[in-house]
Amino acid sequence: MPNSLPTKQLKACVAKHIDVSPDELKLTPISTGRFNRSYYVSLKRGDYVLRIAPSDQIFCLFYERHMMRQEPGLHTLLHDKTSTPIPKIYAFDDTHEIVDSDFLLMERLQGTTMSEARGVNSKKVLQSIGKCLRQVHALTAETYGYLGEHRPMTPQNTWVEAFVIMWNKLIDDVEASGHYNDNEASFLRRLLDDHLSVFDHSVTSCLLHMDIWVENILVDSNSRLTGLIDWDRALWGDPEIEFAVLDYCGISQPAFWEGYGRTRDQSAEAQIRKVFYFLYELQKYIPIRHFRGNDPALARSYKKEVMSVVRRAWG
């Protein structure tokens, strides 16, 4: 979990946007935070969540830097166009006047994370997630890639063009960690080039969450889905890449597909795309574990897994 900030600064962040004395605030760190620093904010009038992005000094993947900036617009869109349970955002602040980071203040939803809940009917929850993601994926754009206000890439007119940029930028991040040498990076770049034809197909640019796992799923005691949170990694593109993340996180089980209400493409071309999309998800952990986790050994284990996936797929 990211390092804590002084309580005085945290209270000042809240008091800047809510008419309340800092002395009235109670702040409790949220233990499930992995990237942002997050706190429950307790007031007599109700509860909120304060989320503070990392400072610009820490390592971020190419699409992570300032990615919180796209959340207010996404939350508005999702509230307007879907029934997905997401929190209202009351304030977003990128002035860096109080803390050297962007931060936002949002509604605290009912329920607990699926990772902390006990006795959950997982089938019921996964069906609900499937229904919500079907609505989310129905939201479309004219261009492809990371299109948010953080602007980590230039939007592209086709998915294949967008994915080439994403793939190569991610390899740049792994190279920066020292875990790919020039030959390994070049090999993985060529690997995509050799299979571009399977990505050059008609695909609508859909809104994708890209980070649905047990700590971003809120449920209540009746196994009702009360929240899908942390939309800062959102991407616009091929839903198959979302499915690869769901595979990795153990979400794409039969109950999910029942809720989603649409079958998955099982063609030979889709199977190749599935491997690349899985590799896109897996490779990110190499620089994350090296830089943010300060654990080069674990980073090497992720690299080993990446290379094993490549060997199994292509010999």
Domain spans of the chain, in order of start: 7-108, 122-314
Where does the pLDDT of residue 21 fall: very low under 50, low under 70, confident under 90, or very high at 90 and above? confident
For residue 3, is pLDDT > 90? no
Whole-angstrom distance, CA of residue 7 vs CA of residue 279: 40
- pTM given for the model: 0.94
DSSP string, 184-231: HHHHHHHHHHHTGGGT-S---EEEE----SGGGEEE-TT--EEEE---
pLDDT tens digits, one per residue of 186-229? 999 999 999 999 998 899 999 999 999 999 999 999 999 999 99
Task: Please report where in the chains the tokens 């990772």 appear, as a residue.
Answer: 115
Is pLDDT above 90 for 5? no
The predicted-structure confidence for 221-234, as pLDDT tens digits, reads as follows: 999 999 999 999 99
The per-residue pLDDT of the chain, averaged, comes to 95
Helix (H, G, I), strand (E, B) or coil at 26: strand
- State percent of the chain over pLDDT 70: 98
Flag whether pLDDT at 1 surpasses 50: no
For the 7-108 domain, the top CATH level (class) is alpha beta
Task: Report the sign of the C-alpha dihedral through residues 171, 173, 179, 182, in that order.
Answer: positive
Fold of domain 122-314: Aminoglycoside 3'-phosphotransferase; Chain: A, domain 2 (3.90.1200)
Measure the CA–CA gap between 30 and 40, rounded to whole angstroms: 7
Cα 299 from Cα 176, distance rounded (Å):
13
215 in Cβ contact with 229 (< 8 Å) = no
pLDDT tens digits, 276-292: 999 999 999 999 999 99
Rounded distance between C-alpha atoms, residue 307 and residue 143, angstroms = 32
